[in-house]
Amino acid sequence: MSRTEIYEKLTAVFQDVFDDDGIEINDSTTAADIEDWDSLTHIMLLSAVEDEFGIKFDMKAVQGLKDVGAMVNLIGELLA
Q: How many CA atoms lie within 13 A of 48 on its CB side?
A: 17
Neighbouring residues of 25: CB distance < 8 A, sequence distance ≥ 6:
7, 10, 11, 14, 68
How far is Cα 74 from Cα 61, in angstroms, rounded to an integer?
8
Least Å distance between CB 34 and other proteins? Answer: 15
Instruction: Name the residue nearer to other proteins (CB basis): 1 or 62.
Output: 62
Residue 77 contacts other proteins per CB under 8 A: no
Least Å distance between CB 20 and other proteins? Answer: 12
Neighbouring residues of 55: CB distance < 8 A, sequence distance ≥ 6:
49, 75, 78, 79
Residue 62 contacts other proteins per CB under 8 A: yes
Candidates 8, 24, 43, 66; binder of other proteins (CB under 8 A) is 43
Contacting positions for other proteins (CB under 8 A)? 38-40, 43-44, 46-47, 58-60, 62-64
